[in-house]
Chains A and B, each alone.
Chain A
């Protein structure tokens, strides 16, 4: 990508003013991550319940519960990944999530405090990145989008960070 975007504030970097999907190749990763996250409570809960109800052996039920949890988590993760949309228009960054509980969050450009771009080893292998947008807010102090395309994430960061340069006398 061209570096000049970050230097010349006059040249407008491309806006994505309609909703963008996350790249489909990240779905596997999202599914895997969510599978692990959901499997662990399922293991604990099934072991606990089998002890409580005196039903079967916890040593047998816990792995089964874990597998069920992992399958459920993977399904949920892939669904959620598919339902995560973002856009960047002249007002700022917007993120849409969820199907059952739908949320749409918006961080206006003028309210971005700082940005983090994170890439784990797995994300690097898939050329993906996680962008964390920090605001001064409380509940939405950090809006994090994982599974972004690496180049998109960099463009987003540069575009959102450019506003910070304009604003350096804000204090």
Chain B
């Protein structure tokens, strides 16, 4: 492959329809102001300009999109991809294949209609993807993906095709279970509600809800039932709402996770999913930074868990972009999860049997923050309102203490020469672990309570940890043990190279 022919590869352009998708993307960004202008800006003295304004704006966007198509070129080199774009402000970007951590292929319904796909190349860190190719013909996109997978060496036609082994695929029944345990519906409803509140002007939403509530209340008071019936009706209404939300969750899960398949090809994991809009994303096995196994209450009822991974790929803060490969198993039985981990981390020992438990009698330290908070709340309430109702939050304490005891009973950690693992939670349980090679920094900390009790806690930092995953944080260790572990780990880390 080191022939000069490969050096002189021609520059390529995106798909001729790509301007349409760029336009759609830009319209999506401006859709709210444009709509608002069209719907609510009409009338008034300068009605003509408000009418023609959106048209001009769309026209400008079309011109920009077409320009982008004509100025965007890419070349598939031997070691990397080079991308040239821009007209007035030009840029040339060289992306070595070895730096690409993740390749994402995304197809919405519109993409599928045109037989194209959006390709996104991601490297570690940073806020934006290395390159976003909007859009390529599907077969070109797949070819580019496999080229990057093989680090620029075009897969030989004569070589036996390496079959990707399927590691996990979810049948529809599992996807329905996934919908049942997830709160997707609620999140979507909340988001829709918030958006409606923002977009529609002048208390329209608030007025609407007020009217609705008044009608409902009027209807209820018209019926003149006793309070028991009213309470029953309220409960029934709540039940109905939660059933509807679950149903919405199931529908969303079906749309997002239908045809979920996780496969492995040459140490690279590829995940495909989606009913209408399809997503295909892949990550090299060694790029996995940390693992989280989670079992919520509903999941436990169904005897399922989910397995997520952290990758060092850029994720825009606050933007819930579910494109990077984060979920290895959205839902699976504990055995399947464990088998998956064993397969992907063959040297590590999983599931662990010898968990180091927390020292006995530390449950009150888990309970302490709640105690302080509730105490302050009660003080403030009784001080301000001068009634005994201010003591109501105290009722939370026994439950919280019980939860703390249960959590302390289940919390633990396990460290060997390959893996650091912690477990915790009670109502909703988690196991989090990372290879020692993937640890980045250590921190030993002692709060005033820690110093009094002769304990310490150890923070282990990994790359790409999101705020949602529980931190790798071993708490309430006896100080000698913590110091020993800390120096042992820091010694081990210094000896080992970081492998991305």
What residues of B have a CB within 8 angstroms of the CB of A136 in the complex? 124-125, 312, 440, 463, 498
Query: Closest Cβ of chain A: how far from B488's Cβ, in Å?
Result: 11
CB within 8 Å of B: which A129-163 residues: 135-140, 143
Q: A136 to B313, alpha carbons, bound, how many Å?
A: 11
Query: Closest Cβ of chain B: how far from A20's Cβ, in Å?
Result: 17
What residues of B have a CB within 8 angstroms of the CB of A106 in the complex? 441-444, 486, 490
Q: Which of B124, B491, B493 has the largest number of chain A CB atoms within 10 A?
A: B493
Please state if B448 and A100 are interface contacts (CB–CB under 8 Å): yes
Q: A106 to B493, alpha carbons, bound, how many Å?
A: 10
Count contacts between A and B, CB distance < 8 Å: 95
Q: A103-B445, A171-B99 are in contact. Are A140 and B496 (CB under 8 A)?
A: no
Please tell me if A111 contacts chain B, counting CB pairs below 8 Å: yes
Q: A102-B445, A103-B443, A103-B445 are in contact. Are A139 and B465 (CB under 8 A)?
A: yes
CB within 8 Å of A: which B13-57 residues: none
Please state if A138 and B465 are interface contacts (CB–CB under 8 Å): yes
Please tell me if B451 contacts chain A, counting CB pairs below 8 Å: yes
Please tell me if A101 contacts chain B, counting CB pairs below 8 Å: yes
Residues 427-449 of B, flagged 1 when their CB comes within 8 A of A and 0 if not, give 00000000000011111111110
Please tell me if B484 contacts chain A, counting CB pairs below 8 Å: no
Interface size on B, residues (CB 8 A): 34
Please tell me if A92 contacts chain B, counting CB pairs below 8 Å: yes
Please tell me if B462 contacts chain A, counting CB pairs below 8 Å: yes
What residues of A have a CB within 8 angstroms of the CB of B496 in the complex? 110
What residues of A have a CB within 8 angstroms of the CB of B99 in the complex? 171
Please state if A91 and B441 are interface contacts (CB–CB under 8 Å): no
Please tell me if A17 contacts chain B, counting CB pairs below 8 Å: no
Please state if A104 and B443 are interface contacts (CB–CB under 8 Å): yes
Q: Which A residue's beta carbon lies closest to that of B472?
A: A139
What residues of A have a CB within 8 angstroms of the CB of B499 in the complex? 170
What residues of B have a CB within 8 angstroms of the CB of A167 in the complex? 497-498
Q: Which B residue's beta carbon lies closest to that of A103?
A: B445
Residues 83-110 of A, flagged 1 when their CB comes within 8 A of B and 0 if not, give 0000000111010000011111111111
Q: A92-B490, A106-B486, A108-B490 are in contact. Are A140 and B443 (CB under 8 A)?
A: yes
What residues of B have a CB within 8 angstroms of the CB of A143 in the complex? 441
Please tell me if B172 contacts chain A, counting CB pairs below 8 Å: no
Please state if B463 and A103 are interface contacts (CB–CB under 8 Å): no
Q: Name B459's contact: one of A109, A111, A139 (CB within 8 Å).
A: A139
A-B contact pairs, 29 of them (CB 8 A): A91-B493, A91-B494, A92-B493, A92-B494, A102-B451, A103-B443, A103-B446, A104-B443, A104-B444, A104-B445, A105-B442, A106-B442, A106-B443, A106-B444, A108-B441, A110-B496, A110-B497, A111-B439, A135-B440, A135-B441, A135-B461, A136-B312, A136-B463, A137-B461, A137-B462, A138-B463, A167-B498, A170-B498, A171-B99
